[in-house]
Each structure stands twice: as C-alpha cells, then as structure tokens.
Amino acid sequence: GQNIDQPTEMTATEGAIVQINCTYQTSGFNGLFWYQQHAGEAPTFLSYNVLDGLEEKGRFSSFLSRSKGYSYLLLKELQMKDSASYLCAVRDHPLDSNYQLIWGAGTKLIIKP
Amino acid sequence: DGGITQSPKYLFRKEGQNVTLSCEQNLNHDAMYWYRQDPGQGLRLIYYSQIVNDFQKGDIAEGYSVSREKKESFPLTVTSAQKNPTAFYLCASTDSLDSYSNQPQHFGDGTRLSIL
C-alpha cells in the first residue's frame, strides 16, 4: 500500500534547530514536496527533492534518501511564526497516478519562547 | 496578483441539500484539484482535472461532483449523498502536466463546510 509517516507533533524553542522526519512507502517515486500550513490557511510550498541529498533554501533545508524512503525538513533559527503544520507529500509514479500526490498527515510544530 | 480564490470561506449545509464550492484561478494553470482535509489526516484527493471539459475521480469521489467548463474555474458540488461532509476543502492548481516537473501545487485559502 501507499503510506507516508510523519510525527504528529513536535515542540522546539525559539532560536533553536528542529528536524521533521518523513518516511514513505509508495509503489513508485517521482519527487517529494514539503509544505507549510498555518491553522485554517492554505498550504504553501517550501521545497522539492527528487535526487538524493540536501537542498538548502535560507533557514529551511530538505534532505532525501530514496534508497531509505526517507526525507527530513530542517528548520534553523526558529521563529515564533514557524509554528505551523508541515506536510510531506510524495508524487507517485506518473503511469499509475496521473500526477497525484500522496500526503502525510502533517507534523504540528509548536515553538516556545 | 495571480492566485487561487475559493469561496465562500465558511459554508453550512442542511440535510438533503447540495452545496457548491467555488474555485477560480488566474494563474493560467492547466491542472486543478480538489482535496478534503480532516483533522489528523493527510489531504485526500476528491477530483482532478488536467484539461478543460475533462476530469478524473480521485480517492474519495463518492458524494461529490465537479465540472471544468472553463480553464479558470473548477467548482465542486457536495451532494446529499455525501453523509459526512464536514471538513476543510482545498482547491489547488499546477502549471505543468509534466510528471517530472518540480512545479508545486498552489492552493486556495480553503472552504470550511459544516452541517447544520
């Protein structure tokens, strides 16, 4: 079956670093996306990985290991506004899914002063 | 400013009533999607459309219907057959139909539907 696992909730301190993990089991793999979603709002795109390795974008970095079915989102210099849910989504093989994304349930990140 | 507009922001449905959620985009995107989001669950795909006058069922299409008469518009009707419609509904669009593209889906601000 298709499955994406993320921790339900994490807590971190302002100014610190936090790593949010995502593991996936899908019939195929054609890219992994990370989104940020504040409560009651639309998800906004953060990063995309399709090859193994680290993609850095300012305070946010995302890592992918296709052989392990594993990704993480790294947030540095945490700010209060980073309190949100972080969604991991995998694009399955296009022949099977017609560009559909499979979504994890999201990780709620709580930042404390 | 380009974007996706969903309306209304909040919607209440009575028993036996059909309701329609609006989704309009001015991004000139070909593909549009409807998702349902429930607490503690990932986004679940209801319907998607890759081109005008064509659409496909997603994982949870029962009790829903859509149309795609114009590129900019992809309304979702929640019918009385959907017995548990209370959820947050998100509309999304994406530019490229290329399965190898890194283009993300862009989302509207969502419609929260509740039963009266």
Q: What is the mean pLDDT of residues B30-56?
A: 92
Angle (nearest 5°) at CA A34 between B99 and B46: 60
CA distance A68 to chain B (A): 21
Residue % of chain A over a pLDDT of 70: 93
In which band, very low, low, confident or very high, does the pLDDT at B104 lie, cut at 50, 70 and 90? Answer: confident
Is residue B21 pLDDT above 90, yes or no? yes
| Pairwise pLDDT comparison (A96 vs B13), residue with the higher score | B13
Tokens linked to B11: 């919607």
pLDDT at position A12 is 98
In which band, very low, low, confident or very high, does the pLDDT at B2 lie, cut at 50, 70 and 90? Answer: confident
Listed in sequence order, the residues at least 6 apart from B33 whose beta carbon sits closer than 8 Å to its beta carbon are B45, B47, B48, B49, B58, B91, B92, B93, B94, B105
Inter-chain residue contact B90 with A4, CB threshold 8 Å: no
pLDDT at position A98 is 58
Inter-chain residue contact A33 with B94, CB threshold 8 Å: no
Contact B34, B66 (CB under 8 A): yes
Contact A107, A6 (CB under 8 A): yes
pLDDT tens, position by position, B69-88: 999 999 999 999 888 999 99
Is residue B99 pLDDT above 80, yes or no? no
Question: In the 3-class helix/strand/coil scheme, how is A50-108 assigned residue by residue?
Answer: CCCEEEEECCEEEEEECCCCEEEEEECCCCHHHCEEEEEEEECCHHHHCCCEEECCCEE
Q: What is the mean pLDDT of residues B49-65?
A: 93
Inter-chain residue contact A100 with B41, CB threshold 8 Å: no
Mean pLDDT of chain A: 92
Q: What is the mean pLDDT of residues A43-63?
A: 95
Tokens linked to B32: 């549009």
On chain A, the residues whose CB falls within 8 A of the CB of B107 are 42-44
**Mutation for B interface: A91, A100, A101, most B CBs within 10 A:** A101
Q: What is the mean pLDDT of residues A58-71?
A: 97
Inter-chain residue contact A31 with B102, CB threshold 8 Å: yes
Short-list B14, B11, B24, B108, CA closest to B68: B24
In which band, very low, low, confident or very high, does the pLDDT at B40 lie, cut at 50, 70 and 90? Answer: confident
